[in-house]
Each structure stands twice: as C-alpha cells, then as structure tokens.
Structure 1
Amino acid sequence: MSHGSSRIAALDGLRAVSILLVLISHAWLGHIVPGGLGVTIFFFISGFIITRLMISEWDEAGTMRISQFYIRRFFRLMPALTVFLVVSVITLSLAGQEVVWKEILAVFLYTANYYGIFIGFSGDTFPPPLAITWSLAVEEHFYLIFPSLFVALIARWKQFATLIIAALIIALGWRCWLAYGVGLEQLPHYRIYKATDTRVDSILYGTLLAIILARKPAAWERLNHIACFFAGIFLILATLLIRSEEFRESLRYSLQGVALFILFPYAVLSNSRISSVLANRFFLYVGKVSYSLYLYHWLAFGIVVFWMGDASLPLRIFVMLVLSFAMADASYRWVENPGLRAGRKLLKS
C-alpha cells in the first residue's frame, strides 16, 4: 500500500472515471450513464486524499498547519475558477445572455449550491455554466470545518472515527426524514442532491477510510481483497438499479459511500489488475485535468446547445467532447499549474 504524500497513480485514474461519468452523462446520455455517481466518487476521493495528506503532515511534523492548508487550497482552486468565470461571462455576453452578478458572487463565496436550489441560476436558452460549481461549494463548506476538527482530534483517532461514523448516520437520517417525512414533492428540486447538509457524508466516507487505513493496519489486510472490490461493485450496481426516487435521495448516497469504502483499497491502493488499468496513460491524463474538465464541460455543453442545437446527436457529442478537453487542457497547462507553482513558492518564502 502507498503511504504518505506520494502520488497514487490509480487514484488519478479513479478521478478520471468519476469525471468521465459526469461528462458523458451530461452529453445527452444521462439516461444511460450515472453522472451523479461520478460526483459521489469525486467527493469520496477528495475526502480520502486530503485526509491522507493531513495525516502524513501530522506524522512527520507533529502538527498540521491550518493556514498552509488554506493557502494550498486557494492556489489549487481559485486561479482556474476565476479564469473559468471570465470565460463564462464572455461566452454568455457573446450569446446575448444577461450576466447576473449575484451568481458570480455566489460562486466566489462558495454558496452556488444553495443559490441554485433556492434562487436558481438564470438561463433558458443557454444552460447556466456557473451552476456546475455547486459541488465545489459542498467541498469548501466541509473544508472550512474539517482541518480544525482534524487538529483537535487526530491524536485520539478512535474518538475521531466514532464522531465521523455518527455524522454519517445523522446525514442518512436527515435525508430519510426529508425524503420520506417531508416528502420530495414538498422540497425544491435538487434540495437533497446539491445541499451540503445532505451530501457532505460522501466526503466523510473518504476521510474515514484514510484515518482507519493510517491508524489500523489490520483494516488494510481485510479490505485489500478482490472479494471486497466485487462486493462494492455489486452494491453500487444495486443502488443504480433501484429506481425509487425516495431511495435515490436517501439511502443511495450512504450505500455508495460504503461501497467505495470497501472497494477502494483493492482497486486503487494495491498492486492489483484493477489499479494497473486505472493507472494507464489515458486515465492518468484525464485525472490530472479533471478539475478544469469538470468546470469547462458544462460551458461546452451550453455552447453546443445554444449554437448547435439542431445538429445531430453524434455531432453534438463530438463537438462537446473536443471543446471540453481543449479548454480543460489549456486551463490545466496555463492556469492550474502556474497557480500551484505560485502557491508552493509562497509557502517556501
């Protein structure tokens, strides 16, 4: 198993799988490809990798500097997000669409998920590109709180793990109450799917796995097994096959979290056939550009809908894919990477 802060190739590969699920589902194939699962995997990976890095820093230095965490986070996310917003505003202007400045503010303040649920991003003829930032808001709400909790509790990791498990149960109970008690028809559209209070547990499953694998070596022996991988895959397939809306908005996210928890060690962290497939060159590339690809694919979708709405489906899909990857690659090379280098330089100074 890989330890510490070294990069895990198969993890980039799984990140690629998650963004490809989102991208392909949004390319008019959502009735076949489960894009929502891609976002759930994204959340899980985020929780796992950031907690893993925190534990590595804690074990090496005896502490985890919260200020440095936020500086790294800022330079990781904000340069690409800012340029994406500028490109989106220019594109909307070219399309003759009104630019609502409150929406831009919602993105910068990481409240896009609740803004989208309760107010709604504008755009009838041009699908609103900024709406895609809802998942960034969920992550940032989590990372406003988690580093402080980590520093306070990681020395007593069993209590920390117990607290996380309690939070997972509470989140499930809250979703069940909203779905079955209040009723989905009484809730705004996407209330459960996009809100932090109902989706944060998807990140927590990843954090819990990182803590347990780092502090309880016996767990690695139990989970690093092909049977765990297939059990996880089976569980995920079951969650996709059950079509009840109430189930999908309540139990599904928890069951997918459990599934990822048990399949992740064998699929990603061991030297298995699965991890070698995930570590192939194409998946590694897609994984590296995944953040920019996530941002720009929805803008590409809007461009195709607005200017090529009457084109054939294969042509629309092709143009959307080419546009998405072209913009993501440019963003990765000329915005993301320089931003990361600037952040590292600042931390060394």
Structure 2
Amino acid sequence: MSSHSQHRLQALDGLRAVSIAMVFFSHAGFGHIVPGGLGVTIFFFISGFIITKLMLSEWDTKGGINVRHFYVRRLFRLTPALLLFVAVSVTLMSLVGDVWTWTEPAAVFLYFANYYGIYSTFSGELIKQPLAITWSLAVEEHFYFVFPFLFMIFAGAPRRFLSAIVIILLMMLAWRSYLVYGIGLDHLPHYRIYTATDTRADSILYGVCLSLVMVRYPQLFARLNTWRGFATGAVIMLISLAIRDENFRESLRYSLQGMALFLMFATLVFSRNYFNSFLEWPPVVYVGRISYSLYLYHWLVIGVVAWYMPEASTLIRLLVVAVFSWLLSHLSYRYIEQRFQAMGRKLLS
C-alpha cells in the first residue's frame, strides 16, 4: 500500500459520502427534506481542512511549501475527470437536441462557471444543464488561487494566521449581510449568494481554521473533541436548518454551519464512536472516494433520465439514476481519477 493510502483518513471519505448523499437526494427530488446545500458546505469544509493539514505538514518537514507542486497536484486531481465529464455532457446534450455554446465549456475549464451561471445562462432546456454543477469547483479554485500565498505569509505565525482567518470570516459575513439587508434579495440575481465565491468561500476557510487549530494548538483541539463540543455544534446546525427565513438563509446560515462543523468535526472524524464507525464502514468510504465523479455525473444522469423516462414513477427513476450515476462515477474514479493521480505523484517524485 502506498504512503498516500496509509495516511488517508477513512472517516473523511465517509464524511464525503454523507455530503454527496445529501446533494444526490436533494437533486433527485427530495430537496424539501434533504439539505443538499449543506452537503456542498461540508465538501468545502473538508477541502479546506485537508489541504491546510497537508500544507502544514510540508511546511514543518521542508520549511516551506512548493506552490508549483500544489497546482500540479490539483491539475492531475481534478482536470482529467472533468475533461471526460464535459465531453460526455456536451455529446448527450447534442444527441437530445440541446443547444450549447463553447462559452459553457470555457466557463468550466477557466473556472468562472459560478459567475457565468449567475450573470448569464447555461443553455440546456431538454435536459438539465449538466455543466452548471461545476459552480462549486470554481469557488474552490478561486480560493486556492489565493490561499497558498496567504499561507506562506502567515504559516510561521499561527496566532496571526488565526486572527487573519477570523477577520476574513467576519468580513464575508458582513458582506453577505449587506447584500441581503442592504441591497435586498429581490434586487440580486438568482443564486447570487449561494454560488458566488465572495459569499461562499468562507465555508472552506472554516476548515482551514480547524486544521490550523489541530496542528498548532492540539490542547485546544482536544477540548473541541468532546461530546459537549459536538452537542453544541449539533444544536447550532439544527438551528441553521430549522430557520426558513430566506434572509437568514442567505446571510447567517453559512456562518452558523461553518461554526457547527468546526465544533462537530473532531468527534465525527477523530474519535471512536458510532458516528465514526459508520463513516469508516467500507461501503461508505467507497462512496466517499468516488464522490468527486459522483458529484459531476449525478446531475447529468438526473437530466437524461427525466428526458427519456418522463412517465416513470419516482422510485423507478431514482433507482435508474442511482445505478447509472454509480456506474459512470465508478468508471471515472477507477480509470481516470486513480490513474492520473498516480501519474501526477510519479511526475512530482
């Protein structure tokens, strides 16, 4: 087994599985009871946590980070599967008669799909526009265009680093609040706050903050890793989901969910308990490992099944969507993701 596999926390893959399950069932018609947006928020949080943990490890081992290697790893991690997904998507759209323009793949690969979706229109009508799902990839890439350089400035001074993170988190909350209460949702484009980098990247930053606390302040992290901390986070999370006021949901909700994950994460991932055992259950871990491809393909499959099986029952359509989403995701993970990540590691070594 490679060192990469040995150091991979299975519970993190399990948490990814929970995240993609939320997104999948929300998009599959159960959005009234399954919070799909929370699934994306958890994805963001995990991303910030893992990447910061890796950067801190590299910093402690080598006295710095190799930014070029960082971007090469992300290129081999994300782009090959994304290339195939876009090719499959535009082919299927052409087959069913959907009109698409080259601006849409450009929005995906140049990582402005979120703002393109807000201020323009993805064109698919017969099937749901599959490329629109890449908005979250754009948010992450915008964040990681900046974060390595921010990291290098503050990595040697963890207290200042934490202070800078808290200031940015408060500024982003203030910006969202201004958009909601100062300008008003009725005067903003649809999904302006939900999918824009300037209003959603703080979900990644909460993960960064927890990772920094875990590595640089282990005693504080141990205090978080208690049932009291978990219960506090769970209550905050339930409040964020229970309040249905749209102004609250577009302003304070993301901050509360970030704080809740900050408090719950250690107990879920690093403690031995029933939650952790579920997250480390091999089938759950497997779903987490294919979650990137599953995130890409499930939206495409939902659109195709709705187009070809409009009269089928909800259960039949759900089963068909689940099977084909799994099949495409498994093939993408096994023959694209794994191979190109191995290629990238070999190149960098």
TM-score above 0.5, yes or no: yes
Tell me which residue corresponds to 1:189. Answer: 190
Q: Deviations over 1:182-239 (max 9, x none)?
A: 0000000000000000000000000000001110111122111012112212211111
Q: Deviations over 1:50-78 (max 9, x none)?
A: 00011011111111100000000000000
For 1:309 and 1:334, the matched residues in 2 are separated by 32
The answer to which of 229-238 and 39-48 deviates more is 229-238
Where structure 2 has 5 or more consecutive residues not aligned to the other structure, the ranges are: 1-5
Identity over the aligned pairs, expressed in percent?
A: 55
1:313 aligns with 2:305: no
1:338 aligns with 2:342: no
Tell me which residue corresponds to 1:271. Answer: 272
Tell me which residue corresponds to 1:6. Answer: 7
Tell me if structure 1 keeps the 8 A contact 2:305–2:317.
yes
Q: Deviations over 1:288-321 (max 9, x none)?
A: 0000000000011111111112211111111111
For 2:20 and 2:96, the matched residues in 1 are separated by 27
Tell me which residue corresponds to 2:59. Answer: 58
| Equivalent residues in 2 for 1:100-249, closer than 5 Å | 100-249=101-250
SS in 1 for 2:128: coil
Tell me if structure 1 keeps the 8 A contact 2:231–2:264.
yes
SS in 2 for 1:333: helix
Deviation at 1:138, TM superposition (A): 0.0
For 2:347 and 2:153, the matched residues in 1 are separated by 26
Q: How many residues align?
A: 344
Q: Deviations over 1:124-168 (max 9, x none)?
A: 221100000000000000000001111121001111110010000
Tell me if structure 1 keeps the 8 A contact 2:100–2:124.
no
Q: Deviations over 1:57-104 (max 9, x none)?
A: 111111110000000000000000000001101111111111211000
SS in 2 for 1:155: coil
For 2:62 and 2:50, the matched residues in 1 are separated by 18
Alignment RMSD: 0.9
Deviation at 1:270, TM superposition (A): 2.1
For 1:281 and 1:345, the matched residues in 2 are separated by 27
AA in 1 matched with 2:290: V
The answer to which of 253-262 and 309-318 deviates more is 309-318
For 2:296 and 2:144, the matched residues in 1 are separated by 19
Tell me if structure 1 keeps the 8 A contact 2:98–2:125.
no
AA in 1 matched with 2:274: R
SS in 2 for 1:250: coil
For 2:272 and 2:215, the matched residues in 1 are separated by 18
For 2:102 and 2:260, the matched residues in 1 are separated by 40
For 2:36 and 2:101, the matched residues in 1 are separated by 27
AA in 2 matched with 1:44: F
Which segments of structure 1 move beyond 6 Å, counting only runs of 4 or more? none
AA in 2 matched with 1:21: M
Deviation at 1:6, TM superposition (A): 1.8
SS in 1 for 2:37: helix
